[in-house]
Chain A
Amino acid sequence: MPVLEARNLTHVFADGTTALRDVSLKIGEGEFVILTGANGSGKTVFVRHLNGLLLPTQGVVTLDDVPITHNLVEVRRSIGLVFQDADSQIIGQTVAEDVAFGPENLRWPREAVQRVVKEALAVVGMEELSDRNPHTLSGGQKRRLTVAGVLAMKPGILIFDEPFTGLDYRGVVQILERLVRLHELGHTVVLVTHELEKALAHADRLVVFDRGRLAEDGEPTAVIEGVEKYGVRRPHKTGEELSALTWLR
């Protein structure tokens, strides 16, 4: 059963740039999908449609067969989007305050807000930092903070837009661990990345974007064979080794 579905999405920006051309994609409950593609292929624009931040020029996005525009607040609560640039997603002046931003917008009672903030910070391993100023955190901590900010709204679907960008080895592993753990706990995970060697092993599906079109969609080990023609590096592994590609031990 598809939970989240994009049907024939086309997006033309005001300046005439066509960023998406007739993209259709179904994402089932509990799936782990990797979206890949070269820079500028439309990945970010696509995931912003899934969150209702951008509205399609043509086409529709549905959640359980209901167009997401019917209840955007509930859709945004249940589909957490972690942005590529952590700095612009951080609004609070302390870590705890930032994580509380979403739940407070949803008008959850004060005690509930405090509880989910604690839980979310525990998931990303940042309970000790709850009083810190986000500006003074390291890159990896900032990224984990944005993940906590999204988790606090208790979403079922999680979308990560290039979460490994700029992180060192430990930073990548810490994010990846959480991501895999959340998937095991039953979350649907959409991971946007062109660094396939870091996480391919965990994916059920690999989807390739190419200049605004959905070029490939299928079994990771099959799709990966042809990714280089879309400008994505194919890890130099074969068969068995391919399905074991991950930065987690």
Chain B
Amino acid sequence: MAQVIFLRYMPGDTLLHKMDGRLKLFCLVVLSVAVGLATGWIHFLVLLGATVTALVWAKLPLGALLRDWRFFAVIGVVILVANAVFVPGEPLLPYFPLVEVSQEGLGVGLRFAGRLLLIVMVCSAVMGTTPISVLRDALEWCLRPVPFVPAARVAMMMNLTIVFVCVIMDNYAEMVYAQKSRCVESCRNPIKRMKFLALPLLTRTLQRTEEIVYAMESRCYSETRTQPIFTAHKADWGVAGACLGVLIFVSSG
């Protein structure tokens, strides 16, 4: 049933799976910043290399992930085309008919699309190797010294958001199948089809929310919980150092 694996934890015992949650959170932030700062193609290449290494190292199922990423690839292409067409600048081909594609636009578009895909890949690598509770505890650990931020609540909210994204994606996949089996594809009106999906999905999600709230309450949900124990090994620092290295490389020019 559940075929969407993007953002889903996949158990394993690789170094990345066992890595300290706090350092992993650090790597996530560092790599995200690096992706945001990347401009030249060499930056993108280095970042791509780093993420692919991580994904392979963690033995995550690349084929299945690629299938999930297609969705983001479509968004990437839309961004690319929109930028190429609407950003003014030197035309790419002097006598291109109908629309004018600018060099600047193409460059901006490529960068945006590349960043989007890289972020998705970085998230896949981190989420695929880390149970949410570890990320949640790490986030709480980082937020604890920050005044006026209810660390436990923020961390639990993040935890629930991810649980929900998974639940919604599952529901969505199931509903698509269920509607296909009732020949929804012969309905040509895309707005109608959106309505068939969006409304039931919304109701299901709301019902589900209510159930999850009850389930959490019945298991004594509280913001003051057993404290997590973190241990950082040498190799963890090594990975964090490598991520920092990538960031320094990307931001230095």
Contacts of B131 in A (CB 8 A): 92-94, 97
B194 interface hit (Cβ, 8 Å): no
B residues within 8 A CB of A48? 214
Name the A residues within 8 Å of B2 (CB-CB).
Answer: 135-136
Residue in B10, B220, B229 whose beta carbon sits within 8 Å of that of A102 in the complex: B220
Nearest CB in chain A to that of B2: its residue: A135
Answer whether residue B149 sits at the interface, using C-beta atoms and an 8 A cutoff. no
Is B189 among interface residues, defined by CB-CB distance under 8 A?
A: no
With contacts A88-B211, A92-B131 taken as known, whether A133 is within 8 angstroms of B10 at the C-beta atoms is yes
- Tell me the complex Cα distance, A121–B159, Å: 23
Q: How far is the CA of A48 from the CA of B214 in the complex (A)?
A: 9
Closest CB of chain A to B151's CB: distance in Å?
A: 15
Interface size on A (CB < 8 Å)? Answer: 37
> Chain B contacts of A101 at CB under 8 A?
216, 219
Return the chain A residue nearest B208 by Cβ. Answer: A88
Between B2, B214, B216, B219, the greatest number of chain A beta carbons within 10 A of the residue's beta carbon is seen for B219
Q: State the Cβ distance, A24 to closest chain B Cβ, in Å.
A: 23
Task: Tell me, rounded to whole Å, the shortest Cβ–Cβ distance linking A221 to chain B.
Answer: 33
A110 touches B227 (CB 8 A): yes
Mostly helix, strand, loop or mixed at chain A's interface? helix
Which one of A76-84, A176-184, A240-248 is at the interface? A76-84
Q: Which residues of A contact B8 (CB under 8 A)?
A: 93, 133, 135
Q: In the complex, which residues of chain B have a beta carbon less than 8 angstroms from the beta carbon of A150?
A: 219
Q: Is A237 an interface residue (CB 8 A)?
A: no
Contacting B226 at CB < 8 Å: which of A88, A113, A131, A149? A113
Task: Say yes or no: A76 contacts B220, CB within 8 Å.
Answer: yes
Using Cβ atoms and an 8 Å threshold, which residues of chain A touch B229? 110
The minimal Cβ–Cβ distance linking B212 to chain A, given in whole angstroms, is 5
Asked if B218 contacts A76 (CB within 8 A), the reply is yes
Is B226's CB under 8 angstroms from A132's CB? no
- By a CB distance below 8 angstroms, the chain B residues around A106 are 220, 222, 226
Q: How far is the CA of A96 from the CA of B224 in the complex (A)?
A: 20
The reply on A215 being an interface residue by CB < 8 A is no
Is the pair A107, B224 in contact by a Cβ cutoff of 8 Å? yes
List which A25-83 residues lie within 8 A (CB) of chain B: 48, 51, 53, 73, 76-77, 81, 83
With A110-B226, A113-B226, A133-B8 as contacts: A149 and B166 at CB distance below 8 Å? no
Chain B 134-168 per-residue mask, 1 if CB under 8 angstroms from chain A, else 0: 00000000000000000000000001000100110
Give bound CA distance, A91 to B136, whole Å: 13
6 A–B contacts from the bound complex (CB under 8 Å): A92-B131, A93-B131, A108-B226, A110-B228, A135-B170, A150-B219
Further 12 A-B residue pairs, CB within 8 A, beyond A48-B214, A91-B215, A100-B226: A76-B218, A81-B218, A85-B211, A88-B211, A89-B211, A94-B131, A100-B133, A104-B225, A105-B225, A106-B222, A110-B227, A136-B2
